[in-house]
Amino acid sequence: MADGGNDERMQENSKNPRPWPRQGPRAWQARRPRQRAQQAAESALAAADVAIGIGDGAVGFARSVFRLGRPLLDSLMSPLTSAARTAAPLADRAGQAWPQPWLRQAAVRGRQDREALTSAVAGIVLARVPGLTNALLNQIDLTSLVAERVDINAVAAQIDVDAIARRVDVIAILDRTDPDALTRYLVEELDLPAIIQSSTGSIMSDAVHDVRMQSISADERLSRAVDAMLLRRHPRRRAAPGAAGPTSASGTGTGAGTVRVIP
């Protein structure tokens, strides 16, 4: 568009050979500063157009050069790209993809240097990791950090207790215990002799129980008979001192400790 505007103005100038307009030299003298500024702007615009044209030509030339040299560049760069894409050993592919021996040798040396550098850096880093880890952990209160950041309940909810229980070796645990000491402890705590004695006494007292109950019944019958003969109207006062009463189910209060009744 800029080129089009300039062409029109050049055509007008070619039709009017005089540098001033038809109104005369005086009028042209009055308008001269403005004309000069306009010509300077048009000159700068033309210079920009020239620079753009030159740049366009340079780009076109570069494209042409790149287009012409691309096969050669591809032949040089293709081993690098193919080696990066595949994991095949470099030596196996070098004979096919590297036509230049010096490139192959350079690649091999570079690979060796890279591997040596990698191993050296890894060794240095790994040698510093324990110390750095300890120093880092010394600066951190891991317990409080876990308590604040970790949802223990959520973690515990994901624990398969049944699986853990299946992995527990109960036999090994029992092997570590002392059965004799455990038995003595249980006997002492349970007072097993007293229980056996009480059980034996209970079995033996089955017959005694009948005798006692029959004697109690005989006592009552005899008491009622005597009271009837003596024309007593009030029942006997059979509650002994310290007794809880005839209807009480526990606590006889007979002295030597409290007798608590087992139902």
Partner 1 sequence: MSTASGLSDQSRPSVHLAAVPPEARGYQGQRAGLVSRVLASAVDLVVVVGTVAIGYLVVSMVLFLWDPGHFHFPAPDRTWLLTAGGVVLFCYLSVSWLVNGRTWGDFLLGLRVVNYQGEPLRIAGAVARAALCVVFPIGILWVAVSRANRSVADVVLRTSVVYAWGP
Cα 6 to the center of its chain, rounded Å: 71
Q: Is 63 in the site for partner 1 (CB under 8 A)?
A: no
Cα 39 to the center of its chain, rounded Å: 73
Q: Where are the alpha helices (DSSP H) in 86-191?
A: 90-97, 101-138, 142-149, 152-157, 161-167, 170-176, 179-190
Residue count at the site for partner 1 (CB under 8 A)?
53
Closest CB 149 distance from partner 1, rounded Å? 39
The Cα 77–Cα 250 span in angstroms is 105
Q: Is 222 in the site for partner 1 (CB under 8 A)?
A: yes
Question: CB neighbours of 75 closer than 8 A, spacing ≥ 6?
Answer: 99
Q: Is 244 in the site for partner 1 (CB under 8 A)?
A: yes
Structure tokens at 56: 């366009």
Nearer to partner 1 by Cβ, of 159 and 262: the residue is 262
The interface with partner 1 within residues 165-194 (CB under 8 A) comprises 181-182, 184-185, 188-189
Closest CB 173 distance from partner 1, rounded Å? 18
Structure tokens at 256: 């030597």
Q: Is 152 in the site for partner 1 (CB under 8 A)?
A: no
Q: Is 248 in the site for partner 1 (CB under 8 A)?
A: yes
Q: Is 204 in the site for partner 1 (CB under 8 A)?
A: no
Nearer to partner 1 by Cβ, of 50 and 208: the residue is 208
Q: Nearest 5 degrees, angle CA 77-CA 78-CA 84?
A: 100
Residues of the shown chain interacting with partner 1 in the complex, contacts defined by CB under 8 A: 181-182, 184-185, 188-189, 198, 201-202, 208-209, 211-213, 215-216, 218-220, 222-223, 226, 230, 232, 234, 236-263
